[in-house]
Amino acid sequence: MKAMIILNPSSGKEKANDYIEKIEEALQKTYEEIDIKKTEKEGDAAAFATEACVALYDAVISMGGDGTVNEVINGLAEQAHRPALAIVPLGTINDFARALNIPLEPFEAISILAEQHLRPVDIGKVDNFYFMNVLAVGSIAEASYKVTPEQKTRFGSLAYFMEGAKSVLSGEAIEISVEHERGKWEGNAFILLAALTNSVGGFEALAPEANVNDGKLHVFIVKKLSFPKLATLIPSLLKGELEESEDVEYIRTSYLNVSSSKPHVVNIDGEEGDPLPFQAKVLHGHLNVFVS
């Protein structure tokens, strides 16, 4: 059996190399061949993951943050042969690991590899890209591009909230049209979030009903509000009761088509995607992931 480790050396405050010896020790009990691939630039992780599919590897281990995991998933998705995926979280937020209850401490995450316990997990497809966590549209989502690496290191998930709050104070609601499996929604919104998991930006209660393999996107459309009224949604967000608010449209759907008459860009797992419109769907149970 063969395993490939895809390592982002710049993740985990540049301590990623410290974990290599430990992970090789955990894998040697099961895999005769272990290859280590280190990323140097954007796109490397996806290319390595695709290489593992073509060469019929049995497992791929992503060592990095959510950005590295996203690339690895883009390399594995819809390949004829898909190795099992392991995640050693070394990033700031690590939403996908949180949603799967994978330990956030790297050495603990490495220890579960020896157990070989796999779980089928959904991923999403938006146009020609794949995602594992969330899509977002709106000025709040666009504000996330302004978060610097220094802010992420210093404030963690709070950095995204801080930039988002600024956008609420100065930004405008956007006009969107949303087609889903139960109909259509049109109107003005501050933000649309379509979550595959219960953890978004480090907030693990955003979509409490979301399961990693329920075959659904959990869509929250926060309607146009005054700032004081928007502030009242924060307790609902923290308690996982956002869907119960009269100011939020909540939709469960296996697919989503979103368009707008104005130029807006979709945020895919925290990264800037393509301009609207977009089509998204769930690939149900598409990947097998190592869990505890």
Residues 234 and 265 in one domain: yes
Decide if 151 is inside a domain: yes
Which structural domain, as residue segments, surrounds residue 192?
Answer: 134-285
**Higher pLDDT, residue 117 or 154:** 117
Alpha helices in 42-102 (DSSP H): 44-54, 66-76, 95-99
Decide if 123 is inside a domain: no
When mean pLDDT is compared over 57-61, 110-114, 159-163, 203-207, the highest value belongs to 57-61
Residues 179 and 230 in one domain: yes
Residues 97 and 138 in one domain: no
Indicate the residue among 85, 116, 147 that finishes a domain.
116
Decide if 186 is inside a domain: yes
Residues 151 and 188 in one domain: yes
Cis peptide before 235 (omega within 30 of 0): no
pLDDT of 207 over the 80 cut: no
**Higher pLDDT, residue 223 or 177:** 177
Residues 202 and 233 in one domain: yes
* Cα–Cα distances in angstroms (integers) from residue 267 to residues 170, 233, 242, 264, 272, in the given order: 19, 22, 20, 10, 5
Cα–Cα distance, 292 to 117 (Å, whole number): 7
Query: In CATH, what number is assigned to the domain containing residue 207?
Result: 2.60.200.40
Residues 31 and 85 in one domain: yes
pLDDT at 150: 65
Q: Are 195 and 144 in contact (CB under 8 A)?
A: no
Confidence of residue 278 (pLDDT cuts 50, 70, 90): very high
Arithmetic mean of pLDDT, 35-46: 96
Decide if 292 is inside a domain: no
Q: Are 4 and 52 in contact (CB under 8 A)?
A: yes
Considering its fold, how many domains does the chain have in total? 2
Q: Is 204 a residue of the active site?
A: no
Q: Are 69 and 134 in contact (CB under 8 A)?
A: no
Residues 88 and 140 in one domain: no
pLDDT at 142: 63
Among 32, 105, 271, 272, the one annotated catalytic: 271
Q: CA dihedral in degrees (218, 74, 137, 247; nearest 10)?
A: 10
**What percentage of the chain carries pLDDT values higher than 70?**
75
pLDDT of 102 over the 80 cut: yes
Placement of tokens 């691939």 in the chain: 37
Residues 149 and 271 in one domain: yes
Give the pLDDT confidence of 209-218 residue by residue, as tens digits.
667 889 999 9
Phi, psi at residue 175, to the nearest 5°? -95, 120
Decide if 290 is inside a domain: no
